[in-house]
Chains A and B, each alone.
Chain A
Amino acid sequence: MSWSRRQRLRLVRGGVYAATITALVLILLVVDWGALGGALFKWGIVKDQFPDILTTALRNTVIFTIFGFAGGLSLGLLLAIMRLSGVRPYRWFAATYIEVLRGIPLLVTLLILGFGIPIATGWKWPNPYIQGSVPLALVAGAYIAETVRAGIEAVPRGQMEAARSLGMSYSRAMATIIIPQAFRIIVPPLTNEFVLLIKDTSLISVLGVTASTLDLARFGRNGVNDTANATPLVVAGLVYLALTVPLTQLAAWMERRSKAGRR
């Protein structure tokens, strides 16, 4: 053919646009919007979700997230320091832990710890919040450890050398010089970890929670059973978005700002 490269590109792009518009028109024509709206977003059911979806479900999701994050952050910091330690067994332990807990799906870990351990040992979780938060924190710790490690490694080597040359011990230099700077670097990725955790709390519902410890996902699912309508799940999804979108935007903004600041 005698078309130039640019002409060919323009032709391809035009084709893609045309196909997209055709598909959209077809969807608009084929779908029964009234029925779909009635099944997914029925106003009467939407109103029925409140206030419990906020006072119980959202509250529980936030509790699981905060416990999971606080535990995961402490554990992640500890694991990151072990991972970078000069002591080989510490390094091995941390590396193995991180590898194993990141390699197993959270759902499986939740079931093993939440159900398997009690069945195997006869020991019972003291309450559903702990039963849900502890496995979450143990897994979050493995992910956060890698984030923290990246942050520590991003602090220039000279900072440690300057601290040591002033007579600080390794651990004091870590605590006063390296880790504070590492945290500044990792606030955006940590915010993203936090968002992931918010969504991961939805898996805790497999542990069979009581009416007072329902999280957003389980609340929505129960609502579907009660109403024979998908609206409660859609509302739960919107509440998740109300939490996660501002946080991911915040993380993106912080990332842009820190990039600009480094210039």
Chain B
Amino acid sequence: MRIEALHKRFGSNHVLCGIDLYVTRGEVVCIIGPSGSGKSTLLRCVNMLETPSDGRVFVDGIELTDPDCDLDRARTSTGMVFQSFNLFAHMSVLDNITIALRKVLRQDRSAAEAKAQKLLTRVGLAEKATAYPAQLSGGQQQRVAIARALAMEPKVMLFDEATSALDPELVGDVLRVMRELAEEGMTMLVVTHEMDFARGVADRVVFMDSGAVVEEGHPDQVIGNPREERTKRFLANVRKRD
């Protein structure tokens, strides 16, 4: 996955000012930074939920910013997990996971459901297949959302503050699933405020501020021993909050 000279403007607001980022297969990259620094916008540009103003995005060799790119097809190779889960409220857990398999990849129902059941077991929710999102806790909903994204067998998983909307006691279950996914070799781009997760799981940490990459490198270096003043200040603020 490669991002080149990415810019995003909302009107006169320059949110991303020339981002270059490269994520190799199997790598886990965590993006940290203060709110409003453009982390989420960057992530949303990777699967073109936001259209970049300038620059290029490649996933698995395909340029998504190419005007001729079939975006619907290209998006099947990036799975996204949202801060607010965004499970389809009118569908059971099983249908949430199988709907795209059936409607986009045209798999038949029984094959899709078998796959969904396997994924639910993997995220520890095998018994919730027939439940509706409103009957689940936030942590359970987010794990279903991860299973839903994984069902498409994406090449890259994008996590947009996946644990920020959760009660503290539910964060652990979601992080565990993410950690397992990383250990299995999934390529992951993770926007997070969980410094312990970033430090323990990421191969590389990127610190962003004001729409630019300020510092990047090994987590022990960026989080443990930051070079840049802005990174130090941000990390000090995070620790104060904890």
Contact = CB atoms under 8 A, between A and B. Distances in A.
Contacts, number: 62
A159 B104 contact: no
A103 interface: no
A165 B78 contact: yes
B103 A172 contact: yes
Interface in A157-212: 158-159, 161-169, 172, 176-177, 180-181, 184
Q: How extensive is the interface on chain A, given as a class?
A: 10 to 19
Contacts of A162: 80, 82, 86-88, 145
Given A164-B49, A166-B148, A166-B152, A184 B75 contact: no
B174 to A, nearest CB: 16
Given A167-B72, A167-B152, A176-B99, A159 B49 contact: no
A38 interface: no
B84 interface: yes
Contacts of B105: 167
A158 to B, nearest CB: 4
A94 B30 CA distance: 45
A156 interface: yes
A167 B86 contact: no
A184 B105 CA distance: 27
B237 to A, nearest CB: 28
Contact of B149 (A163, A164, A166, A172): A166
Contacts of B84: 156, 158
Interface of A: 156, 158-159, 161-169, 172, 176-177, 180-181, 184
Interface of B: 47, 49, 72-73, 75-76, 78-80, 82, 84, 86-90, 99-100, 103-105, 145, 148-149, 152
Top-7 shortest CB links A-B: A162-B86, A167-B76, A158-B86, A166-B100, A165-B80, A167-B104, A167-B75
5 contacts: A158-B84, A159-B88, A161-B82, A162-B145, A165-B149
